[in-house]
Chains A and B, each alone.
Chain A
Amino acid sequence: MELIGYSCSYIPVELLSLTGLKPYRLLHGDLQLSQKGERIVRVDACPLVKSNLGFVFENQKRFACIIGSTGCDMSRRMIEAIKFTTSIPVYIFNNPRTDNFEIFSNEIDMLIKELEHFFHRKFDKNLIHQESERIENIRQNLRQIDARRRTNPSLLSTATFQKIVISYLQGNFGDIKSEIPEEMSYKPRVYLLGSPVSYESGPIIELIEKRLRICGDFNCGLSRALYIKVVEKTIEGLKQAYFKQPPCIFKRPNKGLYEYVEKDLKETKSTGIIAFVLDYCDNFDFEIAKMEKRFSLPILKLKSDFSLQNISQLKVRIDAFIEVLASYRGGIV
C-alpha cells in the first residue's frame, strides 16, 4: 500500500504525507471508471464521484486508507460507498460550511490523533515543521509556474500546467520540475472555473487551448490547492492556511468565492469565462446564472459527464464563444 487517498482541498496534505504515504487526491474523470462506480450509486450521481469510486474499486490494494470530507454531499457519501464496498479504512472529516473555525480546528486535531494512532507515528513539532516547509516549497514552485500562464502574454499553457499539477495532486512531489519550456500565446484569454477538472480531462483542456488560452482558474483540479499558503509551520499555521484558502463554492454564504474570482479575473486580464460543470454538480449548476450577472463577462458553460463523444460539437461551441468574445470587446479579443 502506497497511497493515502483524500477528496478535498481542505484536508491538509502535510498531515497525510507525514504518514509516509503518498497523499493521492481522488480526482478521476473517466467514463469507464464512472460506469464501474454505477455498481453502487445511481446514474444521476456526480460523474467525478462515480469515476473515483471506479478507480478505488480497481486499485483497492494501493490504498492504506482514504480521508474524505463533508465537502459536498455526494463527496461525503462517496466515502460511505467506499466503506460499504471495500475493506479500505476510511475517515470522514467534518468540513464546516459556515465560517466556523472552531469545528475546523477541532477536526484537524482529531484527524492528527487518528492518523498518529492508526499509523503508529507521532507528528511532533519538528516533523510538522519539516513537512510543512517541504510542501510549502513545492507549492511555491508551482505558484511560480502558475504565474507564467497568468502573465500577459501567457507563457505556459494550462494543458502543460495541469500535467505538472497532477504530480502534486497524486503525491509525486519529486516529479515536479521547475524547468518548463516556454509556450507563449496571444490567444484570447479565458478563465476556467467550475467542478473539479479531472486527471483525464487533458483532451478537453487541449481542445479549448487550440483556440483560447486558459490563463487562470478557480478549480480543484488545477491551481486551487496552490493558493493555500502556510506561513507558520505549525499545526496552528496549517489550520489557519487551510481554513482561509480561497473559499469553496459550497461555503455559506459563498460571497468569498465571488470576491476571489472577481479579483482573479482582473489580475489575469481574462476576457471570458469557461464554466466547466459536471452533470448533477448542484453547487455550480445552481450558480451559473448568478455568475453570468456578477462577473459581467461572456461565459461558456460546458456541461460534462466526462465522455468525449461530443467533441465536434464542443469545437463548434468554442468557435462560437470566440465570436462572442470578439463582439463583447468591440471585435478585439
Chain B
Amino acid sequence: MKKVRELTPKKIGLNAWSNQFEKISVEIIKKYKYYNNNEWGIYLSPPATFMVYGARELKRLKFDNSFEALRMWGFVFNETERLFRARQINKKVIATMGDLGTVPVLVLSFPDCVPFYPECLWWTPFFKESTDLLDTASKLGLPEATCFSRAVASAFYKKSYFPKPDLIIASTGASCDDYSCVMQNVEDMGYDIMWIEIPYRKSLEFLLTRPKQQDLEKTKSGLVYIKKLEEYLVKEYHKIWQALFKLTGVNNPHRFLETIKKVNRLRSLVLEIKRMNSEADIAPLPALELMTIEFGNLYGYADFDEWVEIVQMIHDMVKKRVEKGIGVLKKDAIPIAWVTPSADPYLLNLVEDLGCRVVETEYVINQAMVQIEEDIEPFRALARSFINASLIGSTEERVKNIKEKIAKKLIKGVLITNMLGASHCSMETRIIEKLLDDVPVLSIDVPAPFGITQQIRTRLEAFVETIK
C-alpha cells in the first residue's frame, strides 16, 4: 500500500493497475465497503475486473495511478451490484430523473432510501463498447438522432441494470426534451411515475419590462430570478416529501437538515478539488476522474456516506499533490473549458493526450455544485440551490463563468461536446460559439460507441494547434 502512495502521479492503463493492485494488502481491501457491510460490501478491485464484467472501454482508458482513484473507480463501477444489494436488504430504491442533483437531497433525508439517477446510464454503451442499449431503444421506437440518454428507456425495459424502483420521481418542464420524452416512454412501459414541474428561470432580458425589485431574487452566483419560481419549487418538493413519508412512514425534518449539511460537505469538497485542479501549476487530477467526481455530487453513486469519504480522500490527495507541485499532465498543458459532458469518456483522455488540460466545466449540473443555505427554511433552501440549474435558464447565463475566465485569460479554448438531435445542443451550440468568440471554440458531435474516428482526432489536433 505504502509503495502505491509513493508513486509519481501519472495516468496508467489496466495492466499497470493490476500490477499495482497486487501490492495492496488484504486488510486494506477489506477496509473499504459500501453500505458499511463487511460481508458483501467490499468494492476495491483493479479496473480490469470491471473490464472482464463487460466495461470493455476500460482497456482503452487511462486512469490516475493513485490508490484514491482506484477506490473511486471500484466504487463507481460497483453501482449496479450495490443497487440490487440495496433491494435485498430492504432499502427503498428511488429513481430520481431529470432534475440532476436536488431531489436526492430529499430522498436521502429518509432512512434506508437510496436515490439513483437512471440517466447516468447514458455512459453505459460507451463503457461497455456495446450498442445494445441504443439498438434496443431504436427497437422500442425511440429515434436514433437524439441524446444517448435514450439508453435509459432500454434499461427500464430490460430490467437488469437496476432493481424495479420503489418510487420514480421524474422532473420535467424547462429542461431538455429528449429526456422528458425518455421519461414519458418509461411511464408508457407501465412504471408509475410521480411528475414534478421544473419551471423556467426567466431572466430579465426575456421580459418586456423590468419587474419590481420586490418580485426579484438573486442566487449567490448572481443569477436574477422571479421569486415565484422559488415558491413553485417549494410546493413541488413538499409533494415529494409527502410521497416519501407515505413510502417510509417516517417524517423527520431534523434528518433533512442533517442531509443538507452532509450534501454541502460533499459539494464544498468537490468545489475545492475543482479549484485546486484549475489553479495548480500542474494538473493534479485527470479530467476523467474529475468528471466522475463532479457527477458524484448528484447522488453519491447510491451510497452517499461512502462517496463523501472517497471524495474526502481524493481531496486530501489532490491537496498534497498541489503542495508538492506534482501532477498528471505536463506543465505546459493548455487550459481549456469543456461544455456539456462527454457521453464517451474516452474523449477526456484523448484531449489530454493531445496536450490540453480541462480547467473549467459546464456539465449542466451546476445546481449540484452550489451550497444549500443552512440558515433558512430547508425546502426554500433546496429550491434556491436548484435555481442555479444550467438548463432552465438562458445560454448566456450558462456560460457566464467560462466567459469570466476567458476574460482573465485563464482559458485558451473551449470544447463543446454535442449529441446530434439533442434539443438544447442543437439550439445552444451556435450561440455559445458566438458568446465565447474571444477564444477558439471547437464543437464536436459525440459519435456512438466505436465512432471516434481519425477525422475527430484530426479536428481535435487542429483545435489544439490553433490554441497553442
Which residues of chain A have a CB within 8 Å of any CB of chain B? 39-42, 44-46, 49, 65, 70, 72-74, 76-81, 83-84, 89-92, 94, 96-98, 100, 102-103, 106, 110, 114-115, 117-118, 250, 252-254, 279-280, 282-283, 285-290
The answer to whether A77 touches B428, judged by C-beta atoms less than 8 angstroms apart, is: yes
The answer to whether B175 touches A103, judged by C-beta atoms less than 8 angstroms apart, is: no
Which 6 A-B pairs give the minimum distances between C-beta atoms? A289-B141, A77-B427, A286-B181, A73-B423, A45-B426, A118-B208
Complex: A325 Cα to B209 Cα, angstroms = 54
Complex: A115 Cα to B208 Cα, angstroms = 8
**Chain B residues in 8 Å Cβ range of A70:** 173-174, 200
**Chain A residues in 8 Å Cβ range of B395:** 77, 80, 84
Among residues of B, the one whose C-beta sits closest to the C-beta of A280 is B421
Instruction: Return the CB mask of B414-451 against A: 1 if under 8 Å, else 0.
Output: 00001011011111111100100000000000000000
Min Cβ gap A211→B in Å is: 27
Number of interface residues of B (CB under 8 A): 54
Complex: A100 Cα to B200 Cα, angstroms = 13
The answer to whether A74 touches B426, judged by C-beta atoms less than 8 angstroms apart, is: yes
**Chain A residues in 8 Å Cβ range of B423:** 72-74, 77, 280, 282
Q: Given A80-B395, A103-B232 in contact, is the A117-B208 Cβ separation under 8 Å?
A: yes
Complex: A73 Cα to B430 Cα, angstroms = 16
Most-contacted residue by chain A among B146, B175, B208, B418 (CB, 10 A): B208
Q: Is B145 an interface residue (CB 8 A)?
A: yes
Among residues of B, the one whose C-beta sits closest to the C-beta of A67 is B208
**Chain B residues in 8 Å Cβ range of A41:** 426-427, 430-431
Q: Is B6 an interface residue (CB 8 A)?
A: no
The answer to whether B180 touches A94, judged by C-beta atoms less than 8 angstroms apart, is: no
The answer to whether A252 touches B180, judged by C-beta atoms less than 8 angstroms apart, is: yes
The answer to whether A97 touches B173, judged by C-beta atoms less than 8 angstroms apart, is: yes
Q: A252-B184, A282-B180, A290-B141 are in contact. List 7 more A-B contacts (CB 8 A).
A: A40-B434, A44-B421, A84-B431, A89-B208, A94-B202, A100-B232, A290-B188
Q: Given A94-B202, A287-B184 in contact, is the A253-B141 Cβ separation under 8 Å?
A: no
Complex: A289 Cα to B188 Cα, angstroms = 11
The answer to whether A253 touches B208, judged by C-beta atoms less than 8 angstroms apart, is: no
Instruction: Return the CB mask of B173-205 against A: 1 if under 8 Å, else 0.
Output: 111111011111101100001011101101001
The answer to whether B209 touches A253, judged by C-beta atoms less than 8 angstroms apart, is: no
**Chain A residues in 8 Å Cβ range of B143:** 282, 285-286
The answer to whether B195 touches A98, judged by C-beta atoms less than 8 angstroms apart, is: yes
**Which of B177, B188, B209 sits near A72, CB closer than 8 Å?**
B177
Complex: A96 Cα to B182 Cα, angstroms = 18
Q: Is B228 an interface residue (CB 8 A)?
A: yes
The answer to whether A282 touches B146, judged by C-beta atoms less than 8 angstroms apart, is: yes
The answer to whether A282 touches B181, judged by C-beta atoms less than 8 angstroms apart, is: yes
**Chain A residues in 8 Å Cβ range of B197:** 96-98, 100, 103
The answer to whether B431 touches A80, judged by C-beta atoms less than 8 angstroms apart, is: yes
**Chain B residues in 8 Å Cβ range of A65:** 208
Instruction: Return the CB mask of B136-167 against A: 1 if under 8 Å, else 0.
Output: 00001111011000000000000000000000
Among residues of A, the one whose C-beta sits closest to the C-beta of B185 is A286
Among residues of A, the one whose C-beta sits closest to the C-beta of B425 is A42
Complex: A91 Cα to B177 Cα, angstroms = 21
30 cross-chain CB contacts under 8 A: A41-B427, A42-B426, A42-B430, A44-B421, A73-B423, A73-B424, A74-B423, A74-B426, A77-B427, A79-B206, A80-B206, A81-B431, A84-B395, A84-B434, A92-B200, A100-B197, A114-B207, A115-B208, A250-B180, A252-B170, A252-B172, A252-B183, A253-B184, A254-B184, A280-B421, A280-B426, A282-B146, A286-B142, A286-B181, A286-B184
